[in-house]
Amino acid sequence: MRFVSGYRFRDTDDAHKRKTPLGAGCWMSIPIRNADRLHVIASQRTFFVTSSTWGKRGLLQSARAAELLIDVLYHYRRQGKYLLHEFVIMPDHFHLLITVGVEMTVEKAVQLIKGAFAFRAGRELGFRAPVWQKGFSEIRVNERAAYLGVREYIHANAVKAFLVTAGADYPYSSAHSGFELDPPPQRLKACSEGAASGIAKAMP
């Protein structure tokens, strides 16, 4: 067994859970937790984050719930807790592409988002605990091609779920017009030529 952000994976799953192929020789590893603070807080880091509702229930399928979660995302963005590059709110999970700074960990950022939503959803929407599954998953994004692949995956998520026919038509996604987003980090490294092609199809 091993644990990633609170999730337990069986040994038989390790081979395909440990790395995600990005094409053309590039891979994104799912990092194993490191208790050394110097490794956790080292520099500005970009992550593809996924978290699900408790029991994969469709708690986020209503407009009020999805809009509340978006409001929470932008609340912490305004506070400078992270840069928000892309997002999609699905009925039973969400995906984010965020960058955290030297003073913040991805664990803390996700804890703030999920905690604030659970509190406000209980007060404003009558949700009862638990709202979220424990933990979350994240993939470190270091290359520009990987960033573009994650962006494509997020924009296509609602289409693949047959909620809309075009990503731009889904109102709870950064693919929809009108959302203020942070630009890609300039520090992202180049990857092998052609690595961006088909990356979204390789994402979990």
Domains of the chain: 2-202 (3.30.70.1290)
What pLDDT score does 42 carry? 53
Select from 46, 7, 9 the least CA-distant residue to 137: 7
Q: Report percent pLDDT > 70 for the chain.
A: 73
Query: Do the beta carbons of residue 124 and residue 114 sit within 8 Å?
Result: no
The answer to whether the CB of 162 falls within 8 A of the CB of 109 is no
Tens of pLDDT along 141-174?
Answer: 999 999 999 999 999 999 999 999 999 999 999 9
> How far apart are alpha carbons 204 and 202 in whole angstroms?
7
Beta strands in 5-148, from DSSP E residues, in sequence order: 7-9, 19-23, 26-29, 45-52, 83-89, 93-100, 137-140
Fill in the amino acid letter for 68: L
**Residues, the chain, total?**
204
Dist. CA 109–CA 51, nearest whole Å: 12
Q: What is the maximal distance between C-alpha atoms in the chain?
A: 50
Q: How confident is the model over 29-48, as a mean pLDDT? A: 58
What tokens does 17 get?
A: 């859970």
Mean pLDDT of the chain: 81
- Ranking 14-18, 93-97, 150-154, 190-194 by mean pLDDT, the lowest is 14-18
Q: Which residue has the tokens 């803390």?
A: 108
Which strands form 83-89's sheet, in the order they lie side by side? 83-89, 93-100, 45-52, 137-140
Q: In this structure, which amino acid lies at residue 183?
A: P
What local confidence, expressed as pLDDT, does residue 190 receive?
Answer: 77
Q: What is the band of 31 on the pLDDT scale with cuts at 50, 70, 90?
A: very low
Residues 99-109, mean pLDDT to the nearest whole number: 95
Q: Report whether pLDDT(58) > 60.
A: yes
